[in-house]
Amino acid sequence: EKLLPPYEAIGGEETLSKLVDAFYNRVGQHPDLSPIFPDNLSETARKQKQFLTQYLGGPALYSYEHGHPMLRARHMPFEITPTRANAWLSCMRAAMDEVGLEGSVRAEFYNRLVLTAQHMINTPDEQK
């Protein structure tokens, strides 16, 4: 079997576009996430499609347009708590289910996202 970059293994632009749309549909409705996102998520989704394309080994669409991702720095204006990271990942799992992303390619992609999401955390959860 030929070894494909994950971008191609998941089905390229078509799958990624469906995944990101399914993801932001959930983000926009999630009580922990919607308050920190813009009401109109189309530009956010466009950037995320560019970013995930290069993250998965496809063309460097994000960097061509926006330069170095510096993802943690770009998230600093927002309070990214452990609760929000878990919510982000739960929206992503549900979106992966919706588009039928399964098997080892899903597992490897998802496991990387867990690490990236943890890296974005910049604020502790409120103490009760």
- Choose which of 17, 54, 116, 122 interacts with ligand HEM (CB under 6 A): 116
* Comparison of 40 and 104: residue with beta carbon closer to ligand HEM: 40
- Choose which of 18, 30, 46, 47 interacts with ligand HEM (CB under 6 A): 47
Least Cα distance to 85 among 30, 46, 47, 22 occurs for: 30
Q: Is 8:59 a contact under the CB 8 Å cutoff? A: no
- Choose which of 9, 16, 22, 80 interacts with ligand HEM (CB under 6 A): 80
- Supply the DSSP symbol for 2: -
Minimum distance between the CB of residue 11 and ligand HEM, rounded to whole angstroms? 18
